Amino acid sequence: AEAGRPHPHESAVLHVCGSANYTDDLPELQGTLHAALGLSAQAHAVIGTMNLERVRQAPGVVAVFTAADFPGDNQCGPIIRDDPILATEKVHYAGQPVFAVVAHSHEQARRAARLADITYHPLPALLHAREADAAGSYVLPPMHLQRGDPEAALEQAPLRLRGQWQVGGQEQFYLEGQIAYAMPAEGEGMHVVCSTQHPSEMQHVIAHALGLASHAVRVECRRMGGGFGGKESQSALWAGVAALCAHHLRRPVKLRADRDDDMLVTGKRHDFHYDYDVGFNAGGRILAARIGMIARAGFSADLSGPVATRAVCHVDNAYYLSDVDIRAVCARTNTQSNTAFRGFGGPQGAILIEYVMDEIARQLGMDPLDVRKHNFYGRHDEEGRNITHYGQKVTDNVIHELVAELESSSDYRQRRTAIAAFNATSPVLKKGLALTPHKFGIAFNVTHLNQAGALVHVYLDGSVSVNHGGTEMGQGLHTKVAQVVAHELGIPLSAVRVSATDTGKIANTSATAASTGADLNGKAAQDAARQIRQRLAQLAANRFGGMPDQVRFHAGTVVCNEQRCSFQELVQQAYLARVQLWSDGFYATPDLHWDGKTMTGHPFSYYAYGAAVSEVIVDTLTGEWKLLRADILYDAGQSLNPAIDQGQIEGAFIQGMGWLTTEELVWNNQGKLTTHAPSTYKIPAISDCPADFRVKLFANCNVTDSIHRSKAVGEPPLLLPFSVFFAIRDAIASVSAHRRSPPLTAPATAESILRAIHAVQTAE
Ligand code: MTE
Ligand code: LUZ
Ligand code: MOS
């Protein structure tokens, strides 16, 4: 059985040998030209005059295009049409693309793009989320969710905690930048190879931009060097510009973003700003909560609506909140349009309640773990305390068992004591410890996106080609889907190959996002493979006698009525008998619904649980710190591939740790992003991984009928490094012998850590 085995990533050897092809590695067609973008120098302005003569005259330049050159819609907004591909009369953020220049070489195009002479009439710019909120500047109407009587419950609560907090944004920092290579096809057609999580959306944007029917546009992606949400909607600008240039010039045009341009142009994870008011009892149990969240959307809506919705649906994290009032707004600021990033608002929702848990514990002098446990959703066999604030019943809760196992396997209590002893005799270096859990809802919260298609082709030599709507960004989706098909047909994994994602093969696909890639495409591919297996089983039963459903497919052999033949022999017989050896497959996740007005329903198919314990050491004189050890227990259900899942968990953990610690986005007071390269924006390095890193999968089986009863793993582990942040906070609190609660905002950079240390010291 191929499902469930720790096979290496299908491209692992190619990856490490440097021979896996990314978009920029494709051999260039003869006559290929290169484009670059001219960016707005201002955060908010009316464009006065745009003199592009010097750009046109620059060496190697072939053409210059602006918004006026779109035969169709100059538009790449994924949901709302507020996102021009190239700026029109106004610019809305510093870095917004205003024109494209095409030259013989990449370098010539980039040099020419700097020569534009554009005059601007500046408009007032809103740069901060709170400032935009105060001005009532939003990209979407506010969201509101209420359950119970939070007003009364807050009044009656014996203890109360009010405050504000914030968490920063995060650049996706995919190693392969945004890129699109557009090749004119016969007639007016266009073939675009690009780095995207959403080929169908690219097809639609290009078709609309060029005024073509969708059938004239084909978009293809073999793999990405990372997407992390940043190529869900925002690959469209690059695909749209490359296609525009290729359309007019009838020559192949490649647009490859330089890292600085990529960071200046594209949106990031939304920074969130919170106001909370929580009532609780002396045991630390939350009785009521009023929570306001401001998500900084940037200049346009993009995916901010579903991001804020996911944040609202994750403020509970693993905790039962009886009476709540939650408001969320998407603030319009004159900055990049923030977009999907691993977790998609879920981390920003959940970390607020974890901050509240930590605050309550510090106020009550309790171990934060005990406060957390006291607030968990009820055990799965327990009625009451198991309906989320948005009305979905939690039927698969394993957080009690999972946290108990991790608490014990990580020696949490013993280490807590040892750390207290260490801190008592260490004046400068302080250690901290934290355990944080997560519960993450799996499914697109936009119900109709939960569908997928696949094609399975069986060739006469018994080898199998699979195509499905999902994209490969390093997460191992193609490996998992190939495993599902190999399992279904009872053949070795080496007999199955997944080909590039292609809009010409599967139509109307959803983005590979919301961690649903394997859930959706695995089921669709299983459906296709199953149909072929059933035809083959019927044939075998006809030949050998017996019932079709008793035919067994295993390890490349077919057994029927005590006779056996190879899979390949049966395939050849099927061909001669004129039996169809390929099939399509389709899947739509059942039982999902959502009412956007009341923010209630059943948006998720199931929940993925996990928990982590982190131990850090902080230098209280410099603010430097190190993660000494991390223990993780993650619920992947019956994992489709434990090796790949472990990689996803490790990667997400370190990526989330970067978000909450060293990665800081800084805009100057003119609205220019000053951290637009790795020299000023610090992502984690291999040296930041803990020397002692213990990742385990929790023994579980999905109660929902997911693909082979597995659970998604792409995004949820990004919530595990909350434990790193709270361990740092714990270390800082020890400076005041845990009498003060450190005012630590995220990211906990060295500066932020020093500020918090200073605050607890001066309060003493
Ligand atoms: N892993 C790698 N190596 N590269 C990526 O870009 N993206 C993450 C996650 N893991 C990503 C990754 C995000 S944001 C999502 S939504 C999921 O993978 C998408 O893939 P899946 O649904 O197949 O898990
Ligand atoms: N919802 C969601 C979405 O939960 N995750 C996503 O990535 C997404 N993308 C687009 C629209 N809704
Ligand atoms: Mo992932 S943020 O859903 O692409």
4: left (phi over 0), alpha (psi -120 to 50) or beta: left
CB-ligand 2 contact for 344 (6 Å cutoff): yes
CA distance 516 to 497: 21
Give 569's pLDDT tier (boundaries 50, 70, 90): very high
CB-ligand 2 contact for 399 (6 Å cutoff): no
Closest CA to ligand 1's atom 11: 228
Token pair 């792409």 in the structure block, residue? 714
CB 616 within 8 A of CB 724: yes
* Residue 106: closest CA among 24, 223, 5, 21: 24
Percent of the chain with pLDDT over 90: 98
- Structure confidence by residue, pLDDT tens digits, 132-144: 999 999 999 999 9
* Residue 439: closest CA among 480, 385, 465, 403: 403
Mean pLDDT for the stretch of residues 474-492? 98
**Count of alpha carbons within 13 Å of 580, Cβ hemisphere only?**
11
Task: Record the tokens describing residue 159, joined without a space.
Answer: 């203890």
CB-ligand 1 contact for 653 (6 Å cutoff): no
* Helix H or strand E encompassing 722: helix 722-733
Closest CA to ligand 2's atom 2: 444
CB neighbour burial string for 264-273, b if at least 16 within 10 angstroms, e if fewer: bbbbbbbbbb
CB-ligand 2 contact for 231 (6 Å cutoff): no
3-state SS track over 140-156? CCCEEEEECCHHHHHHH
Mean pLDDT for the stretch of residues 324-341? 98
Probe residue for ligand 3, chosen from 172, 173, 224, 232 as the CB with the greatest number of ligand atoms within 8 Å: 232
Angle between helices 642-660 and 346-364 (to 10 degrees): 70
CA distance 709 to 637: 6
Q: Which residues contact 19 (CB under 8 A, 6 or more apart)?
A: none
CA of 715 to the centre of ligand 1 (A): 7
CA of 100 to the centre of ligand 1 (A): 30
The ligand that comes nearest to the alpha carbon of residue 306 is 2
Q: Which residues contact 79 (CB under 8 A, 6 or more apart)?
A: 301, 302, 303, 305, 306
CA distance 762 to 732: 13
CA of 301 to the centre of ligand 1 (A): 23
CB-ligand 2 contact for 306 (6 Å cutoff): yes
CB neighbour burial string for 92-118, b if at least 16 within 10 angstroms, e if fewer: bbbbbbbbbbbbeebebbbbbbebbeb
Probe residue for ligand 1, chosen from 268, 451, 515, 719 as the CB with the greatest number of ligand atoms within 8 Å: 515
Give 384's pLDDT tier (boundaries 50, 70, 90): confident
Probe residue for ligand 2, chosen from 445, 447, 448, 519 as the CB with the greatest number of ligand atoms within 8 Å: 445
CB neighbour burial string for 690-729, b if at least 16 within 10 angstroms, e if fewer: beeeebebbebebebebbbbbbbbbbbbbbbbbbbbbbbb
CB 501 within 8 A of CB 469: yes
Does the structure show a pLDDT above 80 at 764?
Answer: no
Q: Which residues contact 367 (CB under 8 A, 6 or more apart)?
A: 361, 416
Strand order in the sheet with 606-619: 429-442, 606-619, 625-634, 692-697
CB-ligand 2 contact for 516 (6 Å cutoff): no
**Count of alpha carbons within 13 Å of 532, Cβ hemisphere only?**
33
CA distance 158 to 139: 38
CA of 751 to the centre of ligand 1 (A): 31
CA distance 241 to 67: 10
- Structure confidence by residue, pLDDT tens digits, 97-122: 999 999 999 999 999 999 999 999 99
CB-ligand 3 contact for 473 (6 Å cutoff): no
CA distance 737 to 764: 10
CB-ligand 1 contact for 168 (6 Å cutoff): no
Token pair 């996706």 in the structure block, residue? 172
Which atom of ligand 3 lies nearest, measured to the CA of 341?
2
Three-class SS of residue 653? Answer: helix
Which atom of ligand 1 lies nearest, measured to the CA of 343?
14
Token pair 């020569």 in the structure block, residue? 115
End-to-end CA distance of the chain: 62
Task: Record the tokens describing residue 503, joined without a space.
Answer: 């809009």
Domains and CATH numbers, the chain: 31-124+172-265 (3.90.1170.50), 272-445+596-763 (3.30.365.10), 451-588 (3.30.365.10)
3-state SS track over 477-527? HHHHHHHHHHHHHCCCHHHEEECCEECCCCCCCCCCCCCCHHHHHHHHHHH
CA of 511 to the centre of ligand 2 (A): 8
601: left (phi over 0), alpha (psi -120 to 50) or beta: left
CB 572 within 8 A of CB 539: no
Mean pLDDT for the stretch of residues 507-535? 98
Does the active-site annotation cover 715?
yes
Cis check: omega of the bond before 690, within 30 degrees of 0? no
CA of 97 to the centre of ligand 3 (A): 24
- Structure confidence by residue, pLDDT tens digits, 523-566: 999 999 999 999 999 999 999 999 999 999 999 999 999 999 99
CB-ligand 3 contact for 514 (6 Å cutoff): yes
CB-ligand 2 contact for 659 (6 Å cutoff): no
Residue 732 to residues 96, 355, 625, Cα–Cα distance (Å): 40, 15, 11
Which atom of ligand 1 lies nearest, measured to the CA of 515?
22
Strand order in the sheet with 582-588: 496-498, 464-468, 451-458, 582-588
* Residue 139: closest CA among 283, 285, 335: 335
* Helix H or strand E encompassing 244: helix 236-249
Does the structure show a pLDDT above 70 at 632?
Answer: yes
Closest CA to ligand 2's atom 5: 514
The ligand that comes nearest to the alpha carbon of residue 521 is 1
If one counts every other C-beta atom within 10 angstroms of the C-beta of residue 686, the result is: 6
CA of 473 to the centre of ligand 1 (A): 6
Three-class SS of residue 266? Answer: coil
- Structure confidence by residue, pLDDT tens digits, 702-734: 999 999 999 999 999 999 999 999 999 999 999
CA distance 129 to 271: 8
Does the structure show a pLDDT above 70 at 418?
Answer: yes
The ligand that comes nearest to the alpha carbon of residue 470 is 1
The ligand that comes nearest to the alpha carbon of residue 343 is 3
CA of 83 to the centre of ligand 3 (A): 20
pLDDT at 101: 99
* Residue 702: closest CA among 471, 553, 573, 522: 522
CA distance 289 to 355: 13
CA of 516 to the centre of ligand 1 (A): 9
Helices marked H in 290-446: 304-312, 346-364, 368-375, 399-409, 412-425
CA of 681 to the centre of ligand 1 (A): 22
CA of 443 to the centre of ligand 3 (A): 11
Q: Which residues contact 612 (CB under 8 A, 6 or more apart)?
A: 406, 435, 436, 630, 631, 632, 633, 653, 720, 721, 722, 723
* Residue 315: closest CA among 146, 471, 172: 146
Mean pLDDT for the stretch of residues 515-520? 98
* Residue 641: closest CA among 712, 705, 589: 712
CB-ligand 1 contact for 91 (6 Å cutoff): no
Helices marked H in 145-198: 150-156
Task: Record the tokens describing residue 444, joined without a space.
Answer: 């697109």
Q: Which of 107, 171, 715, 764 does the annotation list as catalytic?
A: 715
CB-ligand 2 contact for 440 (6 Å cutoff): no
CB-ligand 1 contact for 196 (6 Å cutoff): no
CA distance 84 to 90: 10
Three-class SS of residue 652? Answer: helix
CA distance 605 to 274: 28
Token pair 């009364």 in the structure block, residue? 152
- Structure confidence by residue, pLDDT tens digits, 442-457: 999 999 999 999 999 9
Mean pLDDT for the stretch of residues 29-54? 98
* Helix H or strand E encompassing 194: strand 190-194
CB-ligand 1 contact for 515 (6 Å cutoff): yes
Mean pLDDT for the stretch of residues 671-690? 97
Q: What is the DSSP letter of 446?
A: S
> Parallel, antiparallel, or unpaired: how do β-strands 217-221 and 190-194 relate?
parallel
CB 103 within 8 A of CB 60: yes
Residue at 357: amino acid letter: M
pTM over 0.95: yes
Which atom of ligand 3 lies nearest, measured to the CA of 715?
1
* Residue 478: closest CA among 458, 508, 499, 455: 499
Mean pLDDT for the stretch of residues 619-624? 98
Task: Record the tokens describing residue 715, joined without a space.
Answer: 């995004």
The ligand that comes nearest to the alpha carbon of residue 344 is 3
CB-ligand 3 contact for 315 (6 Å cutoff): no
Residue 26 to residues 21, 194, 281, Cα–Cα distance (Å): 7, 11, 62
CA distance 390 to 747: 29
Give 222's pLDDT tier (boundaries 50, 70, 90): very high
pLDDT at 379: 87
| DSSP letter string, 603-626 | --SEEEEEEEEEEEEEETTT--EE
Does the structure show a pLDDT above 70 at 381?
Answer: no
* Residue 254: closest CA among 563, 16, 543, 23: 23
- Mean of pLDDT over the chain: 98
Q: What is the DSSP letter of 221?
A: E
Task: Record the tokens describing residue 109, joined without a space.
Answer: 């195009």
Residue at 562: amino acid letter: E
